[in-house]
Amino acid sequence: MRIALDSAQAAADRGETPVGAVIVDPQTGEVIATGANGPIGAHDPTAHAEIVAIREAAKKLGNYRLTGLTLVVTLEPCAMCAGAISHARIGRVVFGAEDPKGGAVVHGPKFFAQPTCHWRPEVTGGVLAEEAGELLRSFFRARRKGSP
């Protein structure tokens, strides 16, 4: 989660919503890929931290299936990212802060609980949640102060 938090901070430093992700091989502890939110800079609405990390991992491994790997992300994944996680067959998702407005794992559509979801990772939430949440809150607080 510390690596994901560092990626989230890097996103914030670029003016992007501070969400970071890392994909790890739990067998070896190797970091396969990292990702940071980047839709603004990439001009790509799909450039969420999870998607960036999934793309990098798939390319690095030469396989679109990431079975057995763990995705660690600072914020509860949205529906788009949950779909990508399922399609990639990621084995475990660990997230920091819950997202009552946009989350789709424990909130909203509860994507992995739907009967149409073909692959369900193990999910652990709340890891360093306060730190991840504070990074988001302080980012948006600073943006509100800076706007007219």
**Active-site option among 50, 76, 122, 130:** 50
Nearest CA-CA partner of 97 in 12, 18, 15? 18
Pairwise CA distance, residues 79 & 109, whole Å = 7
Q: Which parts are annotated binding residues?
A: 48, 78, 81
Q: Please state, in angstroms and as integers, the Cα–Cα distance from residue 7 to each residue in 50, 69, 109, following that order.
A: 11, 19, 27
DSSP letter, residue 90:
B
Q: Which parts are annotated binding residues for Zn(2+)?
A: 48, 78, 81
Whether 122 sits among the annotated catalytic residues: the reply is: no
Catalytic residues: 50
